């Protein structure tokens, strides 16, 4: 598998009053096409910052991030926004479904934003809903769904436009343990089925166990652990 994401010499620093906070220093790594990656770390360690940098929401203090050969750190803000909209899917802890839109309208939104909404794409979206057992809720509004159902809709919305990369930020943090495990298994299964690369940010070692490689944010670096469960604190 070829590298989809190449991170070279990444640094991220924030000024807080008269002091400077270092989030990452000289971070370099490759993530291969179709690979599932977990990033562990305590609260405030920089896990979400990493997702923001990889997606182009934020820009690094130094270094570069290339996705499929495109150095997104060199893009102007508008170009980063378009790249993100077309090539990246997001899954959040609190679902972030639009309450005034139905399930169908929520999942079709990425296609509309990209100007790709047609009969074939709509059929694909319906097939995905069928696959996760929610086709009968297609006209329901989010407040009529359970937490697990809402997160399944959010997963379909994230991958309906066939992105290169899925970014999941604590996707089970708002679910009970059993539902969370079901959602994680579904997310990993769909990512593998559709040959998508996944970066999963989590504080849970159990959640990380569905991925191929596990990293921990520690003192501004990413430390890789060769086997699940070998996370030091």
What are the mean pLDDT values of the chain's consecutive 10-residue runs (233 residues total)? 88 87 91 94 88 94 94 94 94 92 96 91 94 94 94 94 94 88 92 94 88 92 71 42
pLDDT of residue 232: 43
Global pTM value:
0.91
> What's the total number of domains in the chain?
1
pLDDT of residue 231: 44
CATH code of residue 149: 3.40.50.300
> How many other CB atoms are there within 10 angstroms of residue 149's CB atom?
20
- Cβ-contact 71, 7 below 8 angstroms: no
Residue 6, in any domain of the structure = no
> How many other CB atoms are there within 10 angstroms of residue 13's CB atom?
15
Residue 73, in any domain of the structure = no
pLDDT of residue 120: 93
Residue 230, in any domain of the structure = no
- Cβ-contact 89, 165 below 8 angstroms: yes
pLDDT of residue 4: 92
Q: What is the dihedral of CA 160, 165, 169, 170, to 10 degrees?
A: 80
Residue 232, in any domain of the structure = no
Residue 193, in any domain of the structure = yes
DSSP structure class, residue 206: H
Domain range spanning residue 186? 34-58+85-225
Q: For 192-195, which contacts have Cβ atoms below 8 Å and span 24 or more sequence positions?
A: 192/34, 192/36, 194/159, 194/162, 195/33, 195/34
Residue 173, in any domain of the structure = yes
Residue 212, in any domain of the structure = yes
pLDDT of residue 193: 92
Residue 15, in any domain of the structure = no
- Cβ-contact 65, 71 below 8 angstroms: yes
């Amino acid at each position: 598998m070829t590298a989809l994401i190449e991170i070279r010499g990444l640094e991220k620093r924030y000024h807080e009053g008269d002091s400077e906070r270092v989030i990452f220093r000289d971070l370099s790594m490759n993530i291969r096409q179709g690979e599932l990656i977990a990033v562990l770390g305590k609260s405030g360690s920089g896990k979400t910052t990493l997702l923001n940098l990889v997606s182009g929401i934020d820009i690094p203090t130094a270094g570069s991030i290339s996705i499929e050969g495109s150095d997104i750190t060199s893009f102007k803000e508008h170009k980063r926004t378009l790249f993100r909209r077309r090539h990246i899917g997001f899954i959040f802890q609190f679902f972030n479904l639009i309450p005034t839109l139905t399930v169908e309208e929520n999942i079709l939104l990425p296609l509309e934003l990209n100007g790709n909404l047609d009969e074939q794409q709509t059929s694909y979206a319906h097939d995905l809903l069928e696959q996760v057992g929610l086709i009968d809720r297609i006209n329901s509004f989010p407040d009529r769904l359970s937490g697990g159902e809402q997160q399944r809709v959010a997963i379909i919305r994230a991958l309906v436009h066939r992105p290169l990369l899925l970014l999941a930020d604590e996707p089970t943090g708002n679910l009970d343990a059993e539902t969370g495990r079901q959602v994680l298994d579904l997310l990993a299964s769909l990512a593998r089925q559709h040959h998508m690369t996944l970066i999963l940010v989590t504080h849970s070692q159990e959640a990380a166990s569905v991925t191929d490689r596990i990293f921990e944010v520690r003192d501004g670096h990413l430390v890789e652990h060769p086997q699940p469960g070998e996370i030091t604190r």
